[in-house]
């Protein structure tokens, strides 16, 4: 897997480049992993509903080609775009999503933070009262309150074209989180969004990107 650090990159040109890479690749094209951060932008997934964008203000809203609902990208967030030939890799989409989430969980673990999955809600969450607790989430989620006591720290939205993946995962490192209050993040009203800095972890974008990139490279290999 070839790693490329794009640095600060506008959203739409990056998506267009991913799409071109995916449509033009063949069976011999090496898989790639692009890491970047985007200027402030709300992206609306294919299943997104307009009423989940509450008050965008001066932040543009862009229709995305990935699955899922609305999310926010901005400075201080590591966005990872794995471009993987799943047929060659030998695993299916469900396993691909699991591996991406596991890469985020292992990245958080490097900082002593415990990441959690929530059934039916792709992404990774942390306990707001104790992000460092190793206790598993217990019992089924309460009806209407699947995220009680949790904050979302990583969002996932993917697209698969001809067995090849694009779009990816975003890990919040040290952001201005206020824009999340202008949307229903990932389609969930009131879902709290956090980053590493708000749960007490001091790190840089470069360091977090390096850890996440390494974990994704390891876990997405065939």
Any idea what DSSP says for residue 85?
A: B
118, 142, 146 from 139: Cα distances, Å: 11, 9, 11
Q: Is 186 a catalytic residue?
A: yes
Annotated catalytic residue within 154, 164, 186, 212: 186
| Dihedral (Cα; 159, 177, 70, 116), 10-degree rounding | 60
Task: Compute the distance between CA of residue 93 and CA of residue 108 in angstroms, rounded to an integer.
Answer: 23
Task: Compute the distance between CA of residue 203 and CA of residue 112 in angstroms, rounded to an integer.
Answer: 12
Task: Compute the distance between CA of residue 18 and CA of residue 38 in angstroms, rounded to an integer.
Answer: 15
Mind telling me the catalytic residues? 186
């Amino acid at each position: 897997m070839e790693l490329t650090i794009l640095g600060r990159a506008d959203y739409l040109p990056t998506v267009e480049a991913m799409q071109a890479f995916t449509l033009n690749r063949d069976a011999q094209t090496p898989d790639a992993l692009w890491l970047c951060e985007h200027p402030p932008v709300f992206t609306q997934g294919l299943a997104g509903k307009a009423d989940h964008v509450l008050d965008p203000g001066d932040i543009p809203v862009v229709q995305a080609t990935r699955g899922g609902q609305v999310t926010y990208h901005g400075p201080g967030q590591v966005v990872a775009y794995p471009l993987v030939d799943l047929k060659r890799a030998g695993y299916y989409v469900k396993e691909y999503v699991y591996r991406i989430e596991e890469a985020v969980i292992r990245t958080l673990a490097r900082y002593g933070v415990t990441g959690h999955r929530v059934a039916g809600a792709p992404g990774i969450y942390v306990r707001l009262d104790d992000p460092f607790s190793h206790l598993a989430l217990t019992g089924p989620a309460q009806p209407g309150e699947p995220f009680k006591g949790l904050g979302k720290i990583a969002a996932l939205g993917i697209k698969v074209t001809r067995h090849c993946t694009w779009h990816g995962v975003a890990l919040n490192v040290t952001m201005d989180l206020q824009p999340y209050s202008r949307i229903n993040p990932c389609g969930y009203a009131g879902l709290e969004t956090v980053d590493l800095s708000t749960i007490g972890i001091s790190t840089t974008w470069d360091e977090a990107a390096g850890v996440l990139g390494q974990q994704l490279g390891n876990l997405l290999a065939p």
